[in-house]
Amino acid sequence: MSRRDQIRDKIMQRVRIDEKTGCWIWTGPTSGKVGRGAGYPRMSLGGQTVAVHLVMWTNEHGYIPGKKEIDHSCRNRLCVRPEQDHLELVTHKRNILRQWEARRAALVCQEV
């Protein structure tokens, strides 16, 4: 079994597939509940704690170029599905714009 297959298998052991959204929901540890960066999937890999969605992306697609980052286009921080409608390579500016669009949409829904 290749290293890539081993990593994918390790991740998938802690994934539950949401039939409604198609998200691959991480059921393992997260980065906590409070503060910036909270609630993202975490795992141990090679003796280091790493972000699962980033590991899954690089395992399936390769290196993340400088000035790019991974955005949860499905808007679910626990999703680790590496397809574009769930995780997407974007600029920081695009990621922040999407974040604000999602927050604005949530506020509009609350007002209705």
Residues contacting residue 20 through CB under 8 Å, at least 6 positions apart = none
With bands split at pLDDT 50, 70 and 90, how would you rate the model's confidence at 112?
A: low
Per-residue model confidence (pLDDT) at position 111:
65
Enumerate the domain spans of the chain: 3-111
pTM: 0.86
Q: How far is CA 3 from CA 10, 83, 98, in A?
A: 11, 20, 33
CA 41 to chain centre: 7
- What is the per-residue pLDDT across 4-13, written as a single tens digit (0 to 9) for each? 999 999 999 9
| Rg, the chain, Cα only | 15
- pLDDT, residue 55, reads 97
